Homo-oligomer: A and B are copies of this chain.
């Protein structure tokens, strides 16, 4: 056990801190995240130059070209978060790795540089209304007609579809093949005729996601990444980077401290909430969970920094992390009593209504990207080696 960073990393952290202090006046001050704004693009460019964005993307495709070093990446993320300065991005964290691994040289040259500079933005066309947990059953068709694919169908849960320049999309090109073998992976501009984007209102009142409808959308057959029918494997080559991720234990810790703060300052009948033993006990239970996940995150980070698979400690992060966040939001609402139900810029609203917003959003995160049930299947099967559910075909 060594909770300190080595000198090399301490020096690196100093560098990052200094860079941020020296350059933060150049960072976009607003919260908008849309790549493509000028100030955003020049900031991203500066970050790439210094190795704080697109850090491991090869220089020939516009990146910084460093060797992967998970601790350095972690330090960069930590310091930008601590300083509350907009961090850099690496284009799209699914698309860019996919292109690097499986794209043609032409695709890499064409798409990666503008993407990591933030001049070209992407949305992802995977999920469909009929295929949630069972993604491979997707039904959006792409038929070859001359040099084009002609796409018909519908995607859902497409975040950023209203603003993205491009989509990377899974379509069914071989309808008669087994479901995993009939899918192709296509790239095309969102302004291609026949694409209709409709916002999808969420329970929170926001519309972060969209439905995307395709009606005879023609894209050249050269839009494909990998071979026809191999799209499932192309997509999964990068999905593996995402599942069971690190989560963000810092966010959970920050949220926990907000609750402590709340309990020390809000009162009911003139009594501090912290003086209610029942609430305090609930707070302590959450603290133990929050700390467990924080240390678990450090354990995963240590594994990752050595290039090892973390295994179970990593598999459980999404399930347990989302649940913890949801429970913290639930507690804050209870603490606030009647005030906890306020929303939408109401008088007396606490913290901008963030707790209700989080309570719902976290439930969405428990559901999204593999429901808690799918997560438990994966933990049972992949981490514990329990057998899969027997397949039922055509039932």
Contacts and interface: CB of A to CB of B under 8 A. Distances in A.
A390 interface: yes
A278 interface: yes
Interface residues of A, number: 7
A264 to B, nearest CB: 18
A395 interface: yes
Interface in A164-211: none
A106 interface: no
A309 interface: no
What is the oligomeric copy number? 2
Contacts of A3: none
Nearest to A284: B278
Contact of A392 (B276, B277, B278, B390): B390
Interface in A338-395: 390, 392, 395
A49 interface: no
A134 to B, nearest CB: 15
A313 to B, nearest CB: 28
A266 interface: no
Contact of A281 (B278, B390, B395): B278
A373 to B, nearest CB: 14
Contacts of A392: 390
Contacts of A281: 278
A143 B281 CA distance: 63
A277 B390 CA distance: 49
Interface in A272-299: 276-278, 281
A278 B395 CA distance: 51
Contacts of A278: 277-278, 281
A268 to B, nearest CB: 14
Contacts of A276: 277
Nearest to A277: B277
Contacts of A277: 276-278
A277 B276 CA distance: 8
Nearest to A276: B277
A390 B395 CA distance: 8
Contacts of A390: 390, 392, 395
A51 to B, nearest CB: 51
Interface in A243-285: 276-278, 281
Nearest to A278: B281
A393 to B, nearest CB: 10
Contacts of A395: 390
Nearest to A395: B390
A337 to B, nearest CB: 16
Given A278-B278, A390-B390, A390-B395, 5 more contacts: A276-B277, A277-B277, A277-B278, A278-B281, A390-B392
5 contacts: A276-B277, A277-B277, A277-B278, A390-B390, A390-B392
**Closest 8 pairs between A and B when the two form their complex, measured CB to CB:** A277-B277, A278-B281, A390-B392, A277-B278, A390-B395, A278-B278, A276-B277, A390-B390
